[in-house]
């Protein structure tokens, strides 16, 4: 999906796929064992072949889910490769060591 920036906005530069981690949709909607993060009722950027998208920070450790509860925000920020999909529940494993 591409959008035309408003006159006052600069065109966004799109990041390469290497800046994202993907979780296959069929795996993301099934709760894993152990500690989890449950993201409910959100509009996600979904790669048609790779799954739900997470931006990977510069240090390679921190990830940000590419979703929002407001559809128009996800659509506006979605990369051109993304399909915006409403997903009722996405589950992620949590490593407690990430919070120490």
Which pLDDT tens digit goes with each residue over 16-52? 888 999 999 999 999 999 999 999 999 999 999 999 9
| Residue 68 scores a pLDDT above 90 | yes
Q: pTM, whole model, 2 decimals? A: 0.81
48 contact partners, CB below 8 Å, separation of at least 6: 81, 83
Of residues 61 and 43, more confidently modeled: 43
CA-nearest of 65, 47, 42 to 55 is 65
Of residues 77 and 98, more confidently modeled: 77
């Amino acid at each position: 999906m591409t959008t035309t920036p408003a006159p006052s906005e600069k065109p966004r530069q799109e990041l390469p796929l290497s800046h994202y981690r993907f979780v296959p949709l069929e795996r993301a909607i099934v709760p894993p064992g152990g500690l989890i993060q449950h993201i409910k009722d959100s509009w996600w950027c979904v790669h048609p072949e790779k799954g739900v998208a997470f931006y990977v920070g510069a240090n390679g450790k921190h990830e940000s889910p590419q979703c929002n509860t407001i559809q128009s925000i996800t659509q506006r920020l979605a990369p051109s490769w993304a399909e915006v999909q409403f997903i009722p529940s996405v589950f992620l494993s949590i490593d407690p060591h990430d919070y120490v």
